[in-house]
Amino acid sequence: MTHDLLIIGAGPAGMAAALTADSLGLKTVLLDEQPRAGGQIYRNVAVADPAVANLLGRDYTHGRALAERLAGSGVEVRHGALVWDVARDLTVTTLRQGQAEQLRAPQLIAATGAMERPSPIPGWTLPGVMNAGAAQIALKTAGSVPAGPVVLAGGGPLLLLVACQLLDAGATLAGIVETSPAANRWAALPHLPAALGAPATLLKGLRMVHRLRDAGVPWFTGATQLEVQGQERAEALRFTAGGRAHRLDSSVVLLHHGVVPNTQLTRLLRVEHDWNDVQLAWQPRVDGCGQTSLAGLRIAGDGAYIGGALAAEASGTLAALGAAQALGRLSAVECNARMRPAQKALRQQLRIRPFLDALYRPPQWINTPADDTLVCRCEEVTAGQVREMARQGCQGPNQTKFFSRCGMGPCQGRQCGLAVSQILASELGKPVAEVGAYRIRSPLKPVPLASLASLCTDPDNQDSHP
């Protein structure tokens, strides 16, 4: 064992877990593939250009204090460390500066966050089409703003946030095309009273809507039949809204249909998962301290359940407290007492979730696209081919790999996994939970062969190592 606690992911969940563990005297190492702490929301926060930080607002700069506390703590932080394998005995293998390294601790917290739900629509593979989050990453890391008119299409708070941030950064917005069905509003209504318990978040949402309306950005709701048009690259977004066909000229189309837990690592480790029919996503099954069905493995933050940055922070604290108790460094009584403030913060942050989940539930058609739409971008498999596989007897996503290599490209099924499970479920007339998800194998992300060779510790043997 090299440490008491190993944490993967230096977003709000991982940073909070590391700081809590450090305060309890646990020998802790925090790994992240990014060059700096912050995760998605606080990406680059410690070194962000003040002008960019200013336009990203207080929600962004809140992360600076966390990152500064981390830098001043006793936590061993290894940036630029891509975790590409975790064994069931919790040995973690990383790629860092071209070398593979292995670390092991009796407690492991995976705080690897969320990813954007893929939006497979016709034309989504054309240059100029990206996830909205990708445009935000470019803004946070390089202060870069898309040139030419931008259309944002989809639904969810992050879509509106990115639209406001790009507007403030000087982008020209050709339109916002919301795809959330009108029926979502009725479904969300019963959850409004609970959401009123989180007035700051609601007000933030209203301010974003006003900002975009005041700027005169054309806004369409209940849009369907989206298609990116263009020869060599995106030239326009076509869609139907209000019973009419529309076409918005634009060289950049940003798609977004919410975020879902990134379950690549938990799938690799074969822990139990559940299908969340409200958030339309898989999530690892965890207890109140993030403990999974594999002893010693805990999940914190959006990787377990989409709750937002402040919820992620609270769940990171809870996971670290659980780890400290499991290591015998905290009694159950002490642990329970220390958990209370974080549990309260988590409850407060999650109050608004049922409202947001209902209001921004993605339309069914985004997860079950038309036959000629590419679903697996890496291996170029269409939704129609997945349906055909089901008709030929394919019972689950793993079998589609044998039929067509679907999900076997460099992204390891991250882009197509959700859609393939849902297309198969609807074609086979079974619940998604029964159809299941891709089994994930290492490496989680592509790694150079030379780094595998560097795992050979005996220098005399290196020449003969494959």
Contact residues for ligand FAD, defined by CB under 6 A: 8-14, 31-34, 39-41, 59, 82-83, 111-116, 133, 136, 158, 161, 259, 301-303, 308-309, 312, 444
Min separation Cβ 388 and ligand FAD, Å: 32
Among residues 23 and 141, whose Cβ is nearest to ligand FAD? Answer: 141
Report DSSP state, residue 249.
E
Among residues 157 and 407, whose Cβ is nearest to ligand FAD? Answer: 157
Cα 437 to chain center, whole Å? 17
Among residues 352 and 394, whose Cβ is nearest to ligand FAD? Answer: 352
Among residues 301 and 363, whose Cβ is nearest to ligand FAD? Answer: 301
Q: Please give the Cα distance from 44 to 34 (Å, whole number).
A: 9
Among residues 201 and 385, whose Cβ is nearest to ligand FAD? Answer: 201
Q: Please give the Cα distance from 77 to 100 (Å, whole number).
A: 17
Structure tokens at 185: 């509003």
Among residues 59 and 334, whose Cβ is nearest to ligand FAD? Answer: 59
Among residues 9 and 363, whose Cβ is nearest to ligand FAD? Answer: 9
85: CB partners within 8 A, 6+ apart: 92, 93, 268, 442, 443, 444
Min separation Cβ 305 and ligand FAD, Å: 10
Min separation Cβ 416 and ligand FAD, Å: 17
Min separation Cβ 266 and ligand FAD, Å: 11
Min separation Cβ 356 and ligand FAD, Å: 12
Residue type, 280: L
Structure tokens at 421: 């499970």
Of the candidates 199, 129, 215, the one whose C-alpha atom is nearest the C-alpha of residue 165 is 215
Please report how many Cα atoms fall inside a 13 Å half-sphere around the Cα of residue 430, on the Cβ side.
Answer: 14
Min separation Cβ 87 and ligand FAD, Å: 14
Please report how many Cα atoms fall inside a 13 Å half-sphere around the Cα of residue 329, on the Cβ side.
Answer: 19
Min separation Cβ 395 and ligand FAD, Å: 30
Structure tokens at 384: 């129609």
Beta strands at 76-79 and 28-32: parallel, antiparallel or unpaired = parallel
Cis amide prior to 443 (ω within 30 degrees): yes
Rounded to 5 degrees, what are φ and ψ at 458?
A: -90, 110
